[in-house]
Amino acid sequence: MNILARSLLIMFLFICIQSFSQRDSSQIISKKKDSIVAEKDLKDVFSRKKNNAKNDSLSAKSKNQKYFLTVLPAAGYTLQTGFAGLISANIGYYTDKGPDAKISTISTSVTYSQYNQIIFPLYADIWSKGGGYNFISDNRYISYPSDIFGLGGATDPNQNHTIDFNQIKLHETILKRITNDLYAGVGFYYDHFWNIKVIDPQTRQINVFIQKEIGKTETASGPAFKLLYDSRTNQINPEKGHFLNVVLRQNFQELGSDIEWASLLIDAREYINFPKGSKNTLALWSFNWLTPAGDPNYLLLPSTGWDDQYNTGRGYVQSRFRGKQMTYFETEYRYGISKNGLLGGVVFFNVENFSGNQKPYNSLLPGYGAGLRVKLNKKSGTNLCLDYGFGNGSSGFYVNLGEVF
C-alpha cells in the first residue's frame, strides 16, 4: 500500500507472482450448473497451462507451503503525483493451519514521481502462532510536494498553495489477545516533518504568512493505547466479519513533541455477504479522527487521504479538506463479474465532515464512483483495484493493491 497506489491510473503492468498456500481452495462452485469452475488470477491469464478444475487445484506440495508473493511494477498519472512509476510488493502468510487463522502481511513499495516525490512505506501486520499477539509496524519516508487548501469543508478548490516537505513516520504497536478476536495493547508513535517550504512563486506575500503559520519543522512523539476487535480472516480482501480499531494517542514535549496534544481514532468496519451465500460483499466503513485535547501541528491535523493507508475521500485529491475533527462514512458493494473470479466490480459512496475548534463547519462532502477488480493472487485474495471517483467539483482515478478498506 502506498500513496500512489490510491490514485494513479495504471498504464502498463508486468506481474511476477509466486503463490504458495496451505489453506485456500482455488475452485468456485457454480450453483446454477452444480459444476466446478476453476478460479483464475492474472498469472493464469499469462500462463500457457490449461486452467481446468483438475490441474488448477492445489498440489499436496503447495498445500504445505505458507507464503505467497505479489509484485506489481507500474506507471501512471494522478493530480497528486503527476506521472510516476512504482514497484509494489505484498507478502502474505499464515502462522497457523486452522480455519480461523488470520493472514499476516508485509507490504512495501518505492515510488518516484514527475514532481520529484519519493514515497517509501514499509508496513507489517503480523499475527503470532496461535493468534495470541498481533504486531503492527507502520513506517514511511516521504519527500513530498503537496497542495494545501486551508481549513474546513468550504475552502475554494482554486485557492490551493503548494508546500514541500520531508516526513518520517514510525508507528509501532504490540497487542495481546484478551478473548477470541479482541486485543488490547500499547505502542509508540513518532512523526517528524522537516524542510517544510511554501513554494508557490506567484503568491510570495501569502507564502510568508503560511510559512509563519506552519513553521519549518513539526514533531509529534508519544505513546498510543489501542483496542482492536478483528474477526476477519483475510485483511487483504475481507468478505465477511467485523473490525473495530480504537487508538488514543498522547504526544508529550518530554518525549520530543513540539506541543502537547491528543488524538482519538475510531475506525469501524462491517462486511456482509449479500446476497447471502454469494461471494458478493457489502462493506461499511465509519472513520472518526478526533482531537480531544490540544492543537496538533498543521500537517498532523485530520485530513482527506491522510489516514494510515491514504484511502479516505475517493473523489477528492489528497489534503483537499482539513480540520481539527473529522468524521467519515463510506459504503462499497463488491460483486463478481466473471465466474472464475478474475474480474469483479464495485460501486461506492462516501461522505465526510470537518469541524473547527468551536463549531462545525457544517459541510457534508460527498464522493461516489465505481471500479474494476482484477485478481492478482487467488491464494491471498489480492486484487488490483481500479476506481474512478467523483466529488464536489473534482474527479480522478484511484488505484490500490488490495481492497480500499
pLDDT in tens, 202-239: 666 677 778 888 889 999 999 999 999 999 888 888 98
Model confidence band, residue 5 (pLDDT cutoffs 50, 70, 90)? very low
Tell me if 272 sits within 8 A of 238, measured CB to CB.
no
The CA distance from 155 to 348, in Å, is: 24
SS (H, E, C) 94-132: CCCCCCCCCCEEEEEEEEEECCCCEEEEEEEEEECHHHC
**Element of type H or E holding 83:** strand 82-93
All structural domains of the chain = 4-401 (2.40.160.50)
Residue 15 pLDDT: 36
Give the gyration radius of the chain's Cα atoms.
Answer: 22
Helices (H), 259-324: none
The count of C-alpha atoms lying within 13 angstroms of the C-alpha of 11, restricted to the half-sphere facing its C-beta, is 9
Tens digit of each residue's pLDDT (9 = 90 or more) over 244-289: 999 999 999 999 999 999 999 999 999 999 998 888 999 999 999 9
CA 405 to chain centre: 7
Question: Does residue 61 have a pLDDT over 60?
Answer: no
Tens digit of each residue's pLDDT (9 = 90 or more) over 329-353: 999 999 999 988 899 999 999 999 9
Tell me which range, 62-66, 247-251, 398-402, is most confidently predicted by mean pLDDT. Answer: 247-251
Q: Residue 116: CB partners within 8 Å, gap ≥ 6? A: 143, 145
Residue 39 pLDDT: 83
Residue 365 pLDDT: 94
Mean pLDDT to the nearest integer, 353-364 = 74
The CA distance from 382 to 343, in Å, is: 12
**C-alpha grid cell for residue 354?**
470537518
Torsion, Cα of 361, 368, 5, 371 (10° steps): 170
Grid cell 504445505 is found at 64
Put simply, whether the predicted model's pTM sits higher than 0.85 gets the answer: no
| Residue 89: closest CA among 107, 76, 67 | 107
> To the nearest whole percent, how much of the chain has pLDDT over 90?
49
Residue 393 pLDDT: 87
At residue 74, what is the residue type? Answer: A
Mean pLDDT to the nearest integer, 45-62 = 49
Question: 321, exposed or middle or buried, with CB in 10 Å at 0-12, 13-18, 19+?
Answer: buried
